[in-house]
């Protein structure tokens, strides 16, 4: 292509954060293998989590210190303020996931577990940091393969294997759809980079082949973000997976998938968005995603009501939240992207916290059933308070992050068509459904605060670092809710700097 | 300064959370101090009451969206802040006997109070909504954990109704924000904005009814009786006393001031709903067997006057509505205190039929007298705040819709009937010769007599405690003070109806 091919040094400089995390994973594996085999699990986990945490924090520190900016040819690696910001968010989510893994004793392969957490994170970082469809696919596979193994990691539990198999089969199919869609795009546009793709497709209208390409891509990513009707794996995977793995699937993986989906749609299919305004439908990806969003919100929320297991409830709630988050993408403007990222990041924090508390209950001899939470406020007051914050944030009660996230996403969606408030119909759906959701979140809190604990219930065992992690998550939810400006001012600046349109 | 009403309550919550679990007494004292401090701050803010809008605190909160942390007051909010202060203190006095998980009880209680203060002080629509929703959750727990009859059902129903109402408001709020297009949530600025007529046509009912659900607007009132009955005494006092006012206040602050044209179009419909609520609430109260349900439905009826006043579109009606909010807050608090704390906590029944046989007037003369006074106030006898307030609303309604005003007047008559019926059955069952029962004189005697009265079944009833007496006296004194000298509040309320907030209404030729 006549471009100067970059030297290895430049590649390394641009991919430094990813390199640091990968190195941390290797160090961790080696340390665990060489020196920790005979040590007690508790300490092995602490050491492994510390190395993982240091790796992630090191990468964040690097990004803060060295403001590297640049793009590799064909958009293989795009290092700009926005991708760096999202990577930092992903790394923070991973650190927190590592902290809440401290108390879960489900495996002898401690080193491998934490290394896989990091590999998945590296995959997510590459995923958000590229505008090249091949690279997107490869990173997606790195994330997915790591997550399949993480799901199957509890070898003592048959459910874990079943969950992983389901996740793997669905995921494999999704990957096939994605690949098919991406190959069609390449065939149509002759390019593998998002912006040139849009330029090549511009003005051609939506021909049938492009429609198929869009639909295939949406199906593929629909699986990743667990949107209806591609959500079927989610409840089983969440329930069967070791709880910290489920937390990562619901948080970091969601953030990365939503972000890259937004990039593909807004950059790659710019011009093919159509319109989703009421009585003003124009074919394109916006109405397609609007329909998916509606189904996700309705089905996720209504089915969540019937769940007796809190992990399954969180899975269905995740489906519903996927629907809300899609609204940010549907706005198809900078504010929409900002609201989408704010939404999924704060949702990630909240859901890691919720899974952490579920994990603590499991460690205390429960199984994640609703009734296992009975009287939790008297067995673990601090964790219960945090769980209240997480549940209320998910329900969208101010001043927690979940509320502002919803407000921001809804305002962006309505504001995208201010003339006739065209997207208001979607927001009405979303608001109505979030009113429904309060019911089932309150059911969990009712068990925790209202129901009496079983007669022989003991205080929950939870180590100090674990509790600190959960409290940090809760604080994050409160602080980002009370001053959303902390995050959205950065987001706005980053988005302005990269010109997403 | 007034902002401290909010902060003090939150500090109280924090202190309570740090207390050890079994220190019920310490929890009560902390809560009482927090509430008292809130009341003192509120009084300090109300007494010098300058006319017009006073900024309390204004900070840029989310600059990119034009959202401010903007607290301010006018006469309307001052009135309701004062009401909240009084209700908060008195509610704690009437929950002095809470022993079960006391520290959590008072923590939720103060969190609710903080939210309520916040709503009344917010002049930024977003901030107002934040505080409004903040108040929903503590209500749920207060009822679900410490409530009585059917508590989990009542609590969930209340929470969901409130949340559905606020969902409607949220849609209206986002649409308002986008339509105004000025990137502002400042109520003063929004009130200047001429919203298109077609928009107001649907936004007004959406927001008004959304808030109205919490104000007991018929036919969305059904959460109110079940919620009030299920709630522990202090929570029912707060629910009827201030939480229902949140709804009415929101309807006034947002729907009425921002959408005057919509109001004009929907005025008749809302007025009919309000009057149906007045009459229906009163009729249903007349047939109740449960003492607390009588009061619960009476709240629906009395709140009907507030809603009627809000849509009269004249100054006297609006001022009457605000005064009625205050007055009903005090009187309903008193009624629930008698029913929930004085009677139910001691007799463990609220069945009017059972109470009839207990001779409570003899056994608990203080409670009887308090209830007589509360009934008289509630019926709207001159000298008490209810009279001035409902009269003003009726005059206002007479100008706007004479027929409906007459029907609402009938509602007052039915109010007299159900109140007397409940009074008679609960306290003066199997009435003895009337000459030795001049209730107004009874309490002093009984108070001196040590109060070791016994119920019909021989078990001695616990005497009325000092906190209860103090609480009752505060409420009675307040309703009397306003009843005898209504200008105390009217002089604060009426001038604020000419503030820039009501400019939209004025420009549209209303008010």
Query: Strand, helix or coil at A487?
Result: helix
- Looking at residue A498, its pLDDT comes to 83
Judge: B170–A431 Cβ closer than 8 Å, yes or no: yes
> Does B446 score more than 50 pLDDT?
no
Q: Is the pLDDT score of B301 beyond 70? A: yes
Overall average pLDDT of the B217-241 stretch: 86
Cβ contacts of A418 within 8 Å, gap of 6 or more: B178, B179, B181
Lowest mean pLDDT among B5-14, B305-314, B450-459, B466-475: B450-459
The CA-atom distances, in angstroms, between B69 and each of A400, B187, B502 are: 16, 12, 21
B64 at A interface, C-beta within 8 A: yes
Q: Tell me, what's the pLDDT at B439?
A: 45
Q: Kindly give, in sequence order, each residue whose CB lies less than 8 Å from that of residue B264, ignoring residues fewer than 6 positions away.
A: B313, B508, B510
The model's pLDDT over B397-424, given as tens digits with 9 standing for 90+, comes to 998 888 888 998 898 899 889 888 888 8
Q: Which of B499, B447, B490 is nearest to B472 (CA)?
A: B447
Which residue in this structure is represented by tokens 């998916």? Answer: A292
Distance separating alpha carbons of residues A10 and A217, to the nearest angstrom? 32
SS3 readout for B85-139:
HHHHHHHHHCCCCCCCCHHHHHHHHHHHHHHHHHHHHECEHHHHHHHHHHCHHHH
Buried b (16+ CB within 10 A) or exposed e, B53-73: bbebbeeebbebbbbbbbbbb
Set of chain A residues whose Cβ sits within 8 Å of the Cβ of B19? none
C-alpha–C-alpha distance, residues A83 and A253, integer Å: 15
- How many angstroms separate the CA atoms of B476 and B395, rounded? 26
Percent of chain A whose pLDDT exceeds 70:
99
* A108: pLDDT strictly greater than 90: no
Q: How confident is the model at residue B180 (pLDDT cuts 50, 70, 90)?
A: confident
Contacts of A167 (CB under 8 A, 6+ apart): A147, A148, A151, A233, A236, A237, A241
The pLDDT value recorded for residue B453 is 45
CB contact under 8 A, A398 and B181: no
User: Tell me, what's the pLDDT at B20?
Assistant: 84
Residue B258 clears pLDDT 70, i.e. is over it: yes
Handedness of CA B132, B134, B138, B144 (dihedral sign): positive
Tokens (6 digits) for A52: 């993982």
- Identify the DSSP state of B311: T
Q: State the average pLDDT over residues B43-57.
A: 77
Tell me the pLDDT tens digit for each residue of A48-82. 999 999 999 999 999 988 887 888 888 889 999 99
Q: Could you tell me if B19 lies within 8 Å of chain A, comparing CB atoms?
A: no
Question: Is B51's Cβ below 8 Å from some Cβ in A?
Answer: no
Q: If you average pLDDT over residues B195-206, what whole number do you get? A: 90
Q: A248 CA to chain B: closest CA distance, Å?
A: 29
H helices present in B337-462, as ranges:
345-347, 352-356, 360-363, 365-379, 385-400, 402-427, 442-448
Q: What average pLDDT does range B264-292 have in this prediction?
A: 91
Chain B hits for A483, CB-CB cut-off 8 Å, are: 61-62
Place B443 in a pLDDT band, splitting at 50, 70 and 90: very low
- Specify whether the CB–CB gap between B394 and B413 falls below 8 A: no
- pLDDT for B455 equals 46
CB within 8 Å of B95: residues ≥ 6 apart:
B28, B105, B106, B109, B232, B233, B234, B341
Confidence of residue A4 (pLDDT cuts 50, 70, 90): low
Among A398, A431, A488, whose Cβ lies nearest the Cβ of B171?
A431
Which range has highest mean pLDDT (A376-390, B17-31, B137-151, B188-202)? Answer: A376-390
Does the pLDDT of residue B431 top 50, yes or no? no
Rounded CA separation A240/A497 (Å)? 42
* pLDDT of B236 strictly over 70: yes
Cα–Cα distance, B363 to B426 (Å, whole number):
12
- Cα distance from N-terminal residue to C-terminal residue, chain A: 25
Transcribe A307-358 into DSSP letters.
--BHHHHHHHHHHHHHHHHHHHHHH-SHHHHHHHHHHHHHHHHHHHHHHHHH
Choice among A40-49, A348-357, B192-201, B433-442 with the minimum mean pLDDT: B433-442
Q: What is the pLDDT of residues A263-292, one digit of tens each?
A: 999 998 888 888 878 777 888 888 899 999
| Tokens 């305004």, residue located | A277
Which residues are within 8 A (CB) of A307 and not within 5 positions of it... i.e. 6 or more apart? A313, A316, A440
pLDDT value for A355: 94
pTM score: 0.92
pLDDT beyond 60 at B438: no
Please tell me which residue, B444 or B1, carries the higher pLDDT value.
Answer: B1
- For chain B, the average pLDDT equals 85
- Element (DSSP H or E) covering residue A454: none
pLDDT at A116 over 80: yes
Contacts of A431 in chain B (CB under 8 A): 167, 170-171
Q: B488 CA to chain A: closest CA distance, Å?
A: 35
Q: Which residues pair with B55 in a beta bridge?
A: B72
Q: Cα B37 from chain centroid?
A: 20
Q: Specify whether the CB–CB gap between A108 and A42 falls below 8 A.
A: no
At B458 the pLDDT is 52
Residues of chain A whose beta carbon is less than 8 angstroms from a beta carbon of chain B are 377, 381, 385, 392, 397-399, 403, 407-408, 410-411, 414-415, 418, 421, 424, 427-428, 431-432, 434-435, 438-439, 442, 445-446, 449-450, 483-485, 488-489, 492
pLDDT over 70, % of chain B: 93
B104, B137, B160 member nearest A397 (Cβ)? B137
pLDDT > 80? residue A191: yes
Per-residue pLDDT averaged across A209-222, rounded?
A: 91
How does the average pLDDT of chain A come out, rounded? 90
Q: What is the pLDDT of residues B101-131, one digit of tens each?
A: 888 899 999 999 999 999 999 999 999 999 9
State the smallest CA–CA distance between residue A394 and chain B in angstroms: 13
pLDDT in tens, B55-102: 888 888 988 888 999 998 888 998 999 999 999 999 999 888 888 888
The ipTM, to two decimals, is 0.91
């Amino acid at each position: 292509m006549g471009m100067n091919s970059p030297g290895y040094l430049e590649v390394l400089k641009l991919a430094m954060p990813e390199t640091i995390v990968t190195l941390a994973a290797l160090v961790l594996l080696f340390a665990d293998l060489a020196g920790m085999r005979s040590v007690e699990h508790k300490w092995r986990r602490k050491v492994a989590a510390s190395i993982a945490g240091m790796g992630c924090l090191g990468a964040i520190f690097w990004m803060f210190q060295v403001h590297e900016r640049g793009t590799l040819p064909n958009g293989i690696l795009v290092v700009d303020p926005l991708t760096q910001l999202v990577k930092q968010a992903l790394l923070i989510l991973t650190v927190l996931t590592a902290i809440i893994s401290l108390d879960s004793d489900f495996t002898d392969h401690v080193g491998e577990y934490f290394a896989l957490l990091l590999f998945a994170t590296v995959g997510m970082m590459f995923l958000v940091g590229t505008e090249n469809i091949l690279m997107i696919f490869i990173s997606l596979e790195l994330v997915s393969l790591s997550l399949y193994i993480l799901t199957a990691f509890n070898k003592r539990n048959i459910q874990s294997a079943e969950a992983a198999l389901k996740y793997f089969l669905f995921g494999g199919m999704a990957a096939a759809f994605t690949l098919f869609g991406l190959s069609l795009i390449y065939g149509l546009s002759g390019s593998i980079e998002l912006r040139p793709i849009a330029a090549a497709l511009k003005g051609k209208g939506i021909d049938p082949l492009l429609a198929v390409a869009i639909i295939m891509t949406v199906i593929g990513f629909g699986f990743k973000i667990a949107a209806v009707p591609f959500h079927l794996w989610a409840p089983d995977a969440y329930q069967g997976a070791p709880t910290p793995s489920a937390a990562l699937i619901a948080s970091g993986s969601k953030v990365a998938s939503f972000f890259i989906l937004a990039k593909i749609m807004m950059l790659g299919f710019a011009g093919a968005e159509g319109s989703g305004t009421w009585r003003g439908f124009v074919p394109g990806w916006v109405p397609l995603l609007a329909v998916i969003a509606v189904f996700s919100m309705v089905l996720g929320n209504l089915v969540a009501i019937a769940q007796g297991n809190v992990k399954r409830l969180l899975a269905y709630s995740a489906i519903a939240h996927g629907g809300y988050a899609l609204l940010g993408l549907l706005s198809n403007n900078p504010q929409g992207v900002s609201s989408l990222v704010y939404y999924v990041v704060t949702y990630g924090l909240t859901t890691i916290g919720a899974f952490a508390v579920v994990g603590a209950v499991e460690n205390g001899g429960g199984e994640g059933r609703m009734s296992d939470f009975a009287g939790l406020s008297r067995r673990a007051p601090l964790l219960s308070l945090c769980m209240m914050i997480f549940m209320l944030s998910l329900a969208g009660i101010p001043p927690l992050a979940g509320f502002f996230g919803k407000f921001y996403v809804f305002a962006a969606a309505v504001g995208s068509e201010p003339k006739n408030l065209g997207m208001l119909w979607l927001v009405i759906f979303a608001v109505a459904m979030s009113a429904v959701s309060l019911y089932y979140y309150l059911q969990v809190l009712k068990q925790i605060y209202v129901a009496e604990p079983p007669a022989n219930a003991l205080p929950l065992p939870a180590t100090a670092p674990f509790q600190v992690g959960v409290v940090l998550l809760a604080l994050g939810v409160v602080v980002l809710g009370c001053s959303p400006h902390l995050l959205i001012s950065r987001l706005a600046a980053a988005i302005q700097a990269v010109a997403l349109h | 300064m007034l902002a401290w009403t909010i902060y003090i309550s939150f500090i109280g919550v924090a202190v309570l959370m740090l207390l050890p679990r079994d220190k019920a007494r310490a929890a009560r004292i902390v809560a009482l101090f927090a509430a008292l401090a809130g009341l003192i701050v509120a009084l300090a803010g109300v007494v010098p009451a300058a006319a017009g809008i006073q900024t309390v605190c204004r900070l840029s909160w989310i600059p990119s969206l034009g959202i401010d942390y903007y607290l301010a007051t006018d006469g309307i909010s001052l009135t309701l802040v004062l009401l909240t202060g009084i209700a908060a203190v008195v509610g704690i006095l009437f929950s002095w006997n809470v022993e079960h998980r006391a520290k959590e009880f008072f923590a939720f209680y103060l969190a609710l109070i903080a939210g309520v203060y916040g709503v009344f002080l917010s002049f930024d629509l977003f901030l107002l909504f934040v505080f409004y929703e903040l108040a929903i959750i503590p209500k749920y727990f207060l009822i679900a954990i410490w409530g009585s009859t059917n508590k989990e059902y009542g609590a969930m129903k209340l929470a969901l109704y409130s949340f559905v109402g606020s969902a409607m408001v949220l849609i209206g709020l986002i649409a308002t924000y986008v339509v105004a297009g000025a990137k502002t949530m400042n109520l003063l600025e929004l009130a200047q904005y001429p919203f298109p007529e077609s928009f107001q046509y649907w936004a007004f009912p959406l927001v008004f009814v959304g808030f109205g659900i919490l104000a007991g607007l018929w036919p969305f009132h059904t959460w109110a009786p079940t919620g009030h009955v299920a709630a522990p005494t202090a929570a029912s006092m707060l629910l009827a006393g201030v939480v229902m006012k949140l709804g009415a206040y929101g309807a006034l602050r947002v729907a009425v001031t921002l959408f005057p044209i919509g109001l004009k179009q929907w005025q008749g419909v809302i007025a009919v709903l309000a009057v149906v609520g007045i009459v229906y609430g009163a009729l249903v109260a007349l047939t109740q067997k449960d003492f607390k349900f009588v009061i619960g439905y009476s709240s629906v009826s009395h709140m009907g006057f507030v809603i009627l006043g809000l849509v009269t579109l004249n100054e006297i009606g609006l001022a009457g509505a605000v005064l009625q909010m205050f007055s009903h807050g005090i009187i309903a608090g008193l009624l629930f205190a008698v029913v929930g704390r004085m009677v139910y906590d001691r007799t463990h029944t609220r069945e009017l039929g059972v109470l009839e046989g207990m001779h409570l007037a003899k056994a608990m003369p203080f409670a009887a007298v308090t209830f007589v006074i509360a009934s008289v106030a509630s019926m709207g006898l001159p000298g008490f705040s209810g009279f001035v307030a409902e009269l003003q609303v009726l005059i206002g309604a007479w100008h706007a819709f004479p027929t409906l005003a007459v029907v609402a007047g009938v509602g007052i008559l039915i109010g007299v009937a159900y109140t007397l019926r409940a009074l008679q059955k609960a306290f003066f069952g199997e009435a003895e010769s009337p000459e030795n029962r001049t209730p107004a004189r009874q309490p002093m005697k009984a108070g001196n007599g040590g109060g070791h009265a016994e119920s019909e079944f021989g078990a001695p009833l616990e005497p009325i405690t000092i906190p209860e007496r103090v609480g009752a006296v505060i409420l009675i004194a307040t309703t009397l003070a306003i009843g005898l000298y209504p200008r105390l509040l009217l002089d604060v309320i009426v001038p604020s109806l000419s503030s820039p907030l009501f400019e939209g209404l004025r420009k549209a030729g209303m008010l």
